[in-house]
Amino acid sequence: KQMIEEYRTKDKLYGILRTKGYSLGQGIDIAEAIVRRSKELELPLSLIMAVIDQESEFYPNARSNKGAQGLMQIMPPKWDEYVVKLNLEVDRRAITDPFMNIMVGCQILKDFYDQNTHITDYKVRMAKTLTDYNNGENATNPNLDYAVQVNRKQDEYEKKLE
């Protein structure tokens, strides 16, 4: 039963990814990466989808004007830090590989969430997590609009994934 449920979830994810222009192979790989990291890190699928949508609109080669790259818009120094932390044997070129970008981006998101255990209200904790993800944990001007946008998209993805 659990396998069937996972298959249905991946099928729904792929259906969404197909509307973003992904081929069957790419869409299935990305859906697999999202489902795997969601389970491993206990992050909601809808949250991962919302962050990807907000960060890159699902464009794997996206690059921000500040230098963030890939689906989850990871800054190269943060990428280098997490490649070492996760013991990944890849170089910086892998930052735009969808599977690797999701693997690292989700870990960064989870680590920011875990760093905020002192915040007991889930919504406030998630807003802090998202602003840290968007601005960096040392930002003096957190972008709360980013958290609001991601929350709205997360709600939309929850409905699509029901």
Taking the C-alpha atoms of residue 16 and residue 125, their distance in angstroms, rounded to an integer, is: 28
Taking the C-alpha atoms of residue 49 and residue 106, their distance in angstroms, rounded to an integer, is: 11
Taking the C-alpha atoms of residue 141 and residue 135, their distance in angstroms, rounded to an integer, is: 8
DSSP states of 51-114 as a string? Answer: HHHHHHTT-TT-B-TT--BTTTTB-HHHHHHHHHHTT----GGGGG-HHHHHHHHHHHHHHHHH
Mean pLDDT computed over every residue of the chain? 93
Residue 23 reports pLDDT greater than 90: no
Q: What is the pLDDT of residues 140-151, one digit of tens each?
A: 676 789 999 999
User: So what's the pLDDT on residue 140?
Assistant: 67
Closest CA to 98 of 73, 77, 71, 74: 71
By percentage, how much of the chain surpasses pLDDT 70? 98
Q: Across residues 47-75, what is the average pLDDT? A: 96
Taking the C-alpha atoms of residue 149 and residue 104, their distance in angstroms, rounded to an integer, is: 22
Split at pLDDT 50, 70, 90, the class of 137 is: confident
Q: At a CB cut-off of 8 Å and minimum separation 6, what does 99 contact?
A: 29, 30, 32, 33
Residue 24 reports pLDDT greater than 70: yes
Taking the C-alpha atoms of residue 10 and residue 27, their distance in angstroms, rounded to an integer, is: 9
Higher-confidence position of 102 and 20: 102
